[in-house]
């Protein structure tokens, strides 16, 4: 059931797009209205989500550390695993965001003669890198549908992506990487019993969605073909706010577009929002300087404290008369 619901959701969406375009002729809805709505939901949703996170106070340093913290001068500090300055935290964040260092520590847990043993497991890290970078390159490549003239940097990315010049249209490695990465992440969830046990429909749905997007994209580019010039007319209409629905774009394009719109609109409300969340993880983005700086909880109720010094000042004379010892004469 945990897999069936998200799988049927994706299939139903494919059918909705197909039926909407082929039977009902709702090209304007699927080509213009839904993309605009999805884009707005994505952008506004992401911004509100981040602002909402930023409103939650993080009064104390809750850094997850896995190395020697800053201590006495002759004890060597692990500056990246246990940063104590802003700069080292920044390095740690850059490595986390770009290289997924925390996944590099992924472990495999097994029972061996009744004992729990842990082994290194780098596959998740490797395929997560393949998946995310492929997705990024795929996204960047799609810029060509949205600009009049291609920026030079994007041309270079495209040239590298099709470097091996396999077939015509040239095979993009990132398209393949995206599909392979997503399939690995899916297989991981069904093959490893522990991961399968904790996987929810919300874990499977984005995977099925991404796999469906990748497959429809690959089919369109390499197999059934759509009229790309007409597609670009449509996309350019969207970004120049003069939307048009050109004739004769294949239905599969609208399926692809509808799935992408679903992904965008779903993004801010799902686990996918880790795109923004990774930057705001208090366990990552804080320096472990609790022993150097005093962090005060901002919502502490102001408590009036009567210190011994104040007490003695108030009763010094009486204390002296009674023969009690005082700190200051």
What is the binding site for other proteins (CB under 8 A)?
Answer: 39, 42-43, 46-47, 50-51, 54-58, 143-144, 146-151, 155, 165, 167-169, 225-229, 232-233, 236, 239-240, 276, 279
Nearer to other proteins, 199 or 288 (CB): 288
- Min dist CB 215 to other proteins, Å, is 19
Token reading at 89: 């935290």
Q: Which string of b and e fits 263-298 if b means at least 16 CB within 10 Å?
A: bbbbbbeeebbeeeeeeebeebbbbbbeeeeeeeee
DSSP at 172: P
For other proteins, the closer of residues 1 and 148 by Cβ is: 148
Paired strand residues for 116 = 111
* Least distance between other proteins and beta carbon 313 (Å): 38
Q: How far is the CB of 31 from other proteins (least distance, A)?
A: 16
Between 201 and 237, whose beta carbon lies closer to other proteins?
237
3-class DSSP state of 146: coil
Between 52 and 112, name the residue whose CB sits nearer to other proteins.
52
CA distance 265 to 98: 25
Q: Least distance from C-beta 204 to other proteins, angstroms?
A: 26
Q: Which helix (H) or strand (E) holds 193?
A: helix 193-198
Residue closer to other proteins by CB (options 28, 239) is 239
DSSP states along 4-73: HHHHHHHHHHHHHHHHHHHTS--HHIIIIIHHHHHHHHHHHHHHHHHHHHHHS---S------SPPS-ST
Tokens matching residue 160: 């590298």
Minimum CB–partner distance for residue 62 and other proteins (Å): 14
Judged by CB, which is closer to other proteins: 165, or 194?
165
Kindly state the smallest distance separating residue 240's Cβ from other proteins, in Å: 6
User: Residue 196, CB half-sphere, CA atoms under 13 Å: how many?
Assistant: 8
Q: Which is nearer to other proteins, 158 or 203 (CB)?
A: 158
The answer to whether the beta carbons of residues 248 and 266 sit under 8 Å apart is: no
In whole angstroms, how close is the CB of 192 to other proteins at the nearest point? 34
């Amino acid at each position: 059931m945990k897999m069936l619901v998200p799988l049927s959701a994706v299939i139903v969406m494919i059918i909705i797009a197909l039926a909407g375009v082929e039977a009902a002729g709702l090209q304007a809805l699927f080509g213009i209205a839904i993309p605009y709505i999805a884009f707005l939901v994505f952008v506004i949703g992401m911004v509100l989500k981040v602002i909402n996170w930023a409103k939650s106070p993080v009064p104390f340093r809750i850094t997850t550390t896995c190395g020697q913290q800053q201590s006495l001068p002759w004890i060597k500090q692990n500056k990246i695993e246990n940063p104590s300055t802003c700069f080292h935290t920044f390095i740690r964040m850059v490595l986390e965001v770009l290289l997924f260092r925390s996944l590099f520590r992924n472990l495999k847990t097994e029972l061996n003669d009744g004992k729990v043993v842990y082994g290194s497991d780098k596959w998740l890290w490797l395929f997560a890198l393949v998946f995310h970078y492929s997705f990024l390159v795929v996204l960047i490549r799609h810029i060509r549908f949205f600009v009049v003239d291609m920026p030079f940097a994007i041309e270079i990315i495209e040239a590298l992506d099709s470097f091996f010049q396999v077939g015509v249209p040239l095979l993009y490695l990132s398209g393949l990487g995206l599909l392979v990465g997503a399939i690995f992440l899916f297989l991981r969830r069904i093959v490893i019993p522990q991961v399968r046990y904790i996987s929810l429909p919300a874990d499977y749905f984005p995977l099925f969605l991404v796999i469906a997007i990748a497959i429809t994209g690959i089919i369109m580019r390499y197999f059934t073909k759509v009229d790309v010039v007409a597609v670009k007319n449509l996309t350019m209409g969207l970004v120049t706010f003069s939307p048009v629905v050109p004739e004769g774009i294949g239905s599969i394009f609208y399926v692809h577009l509808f799935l992408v719109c679903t992904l965008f609109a779903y993004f801010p409300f799902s686990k996918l929002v880790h795109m923004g969340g990774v930057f705001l993880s208090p366990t990552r983005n804080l320096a472990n300087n609790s022993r150097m700086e005093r962090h005060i909880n901002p919502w502490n109720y102001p408590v009036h404290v009567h210190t011994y010094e104040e007490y003695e000042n108030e009763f010094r004379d009486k204390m002296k008369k009674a023969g009690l010892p005082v700190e200051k004469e």
